[in-house]
Structure 1
Amino acid sequence: MKFSRYFQELMLAYKAELDDLRSDSEGKDVMRHRLKEKREQLSFLLPMMASNPEMLAPAFHDAFLFMNPLNFEALASKEANKLPSWKSLSGAVKLEPWAEKMAQMVLAEEAGDTFMVTAACLEYLSRSHHTRASAVSSAEDDAEEQDHDGDADLHENGDLDGNYGRHGRDDGDDGDDVDLEEAGADWLAEQGFDRKD
């Protein structure tokens, strides 16, 4: 997916903002509590809507239901001044009932339309990033597991030249025992030991 400069910069800022909200200084998960605070403070944050949308967007975290994700794939490549109206996306995205009142407050502002489209797109990108990251991680784990399985097969079945028996060791069933004993006896004799009869 190709990102516009607008969404490339905002996505990093939005992710950082969500990460800050996620846990406190002791590492405890406080995201639900902090999101609630953010939603309660929305009216005070409205003046930052145009300059720092990433500060308000977390208030709409988990507020969107994406009906047509492909629309948002395309939106991510657009600059702010090229974004469609919020109303035009009514078939592509819906709001959770609890977020309706917040959306009305935002849409009453001059920059509200652009902000709502931006917030929805940031939320979509955030979710799809986690999905893609999980898919990539899962694929890497599968590949690693296959490599490991391949190594296990190699150890169990012998090297590529077939130098081991079926169970990864020389069973001695191929008639080489006598030759090994004789070679061992010869070597000991060469070292000055008496040969056993």
Structure 2
Amino acid sequence: MKFWGFLFTLLAAVLLVAARRSSSHSSESSSSSDSSDSSSESNWRRNYFRGANCNLRPSASSSVAGNLFLYEKNNGGNVYIKGGLRGLGPRGTEYALTFHKGYPSPGECDRAGDTMDNVGGDFALVTARGDNSGAGVNTNRATIRLEEGFDNSVIGKSIVVRRLSDGKRVACCNVDRAREGHRY
């Protein structure tokens, strides 16, 4: 768990430094003339990210848990999903991650509702490498949005991890928008 926390903190720091460098280059170019003020504003917006967090909790009789981070640039495009799962197993067991319409209480994965069919089904597949093993998630989707008010928005929805062999929901989380101005 400490490893994943360190990894996500490191990722956030790298992206923050990159965004600040881009922002400082934009402000240098905007001081040269008034016409470039709007250009620097658009550069800032182009490098600004919208994000969401999802803290996976195990369902009853499961030990699968983890954290997922979702982010996209404010001007749209793909939504990137990164994070990790732990407590997987036994070796070779396959799991699928899917967006669902409901917003259940932590660990009440059966209350997550139906899948969001309009966003493309399973967005990630992971395989256990051993008992109580972990796995990373690193994917992106063009079919979802992190902006409320759209049919394909996943804010206020849930992510369910299900075991493929029997379809059992082993973990779930609610997709909550990150605080305004947070950069990934």
- Calculate the TM-score normalised by the size of structure 1: 0.25
Q: Greater Rg, structure 1 or structure 2?
A: 1
- Calculate the TM-score normalised by the size of structure 2: 0.26
User: Relative contact order (alpha carbons < 8 A, sep ≥ 6): 1 or 2 greater?
Assistant: 2
The structure in which a higher percent of residues are strand is: 2
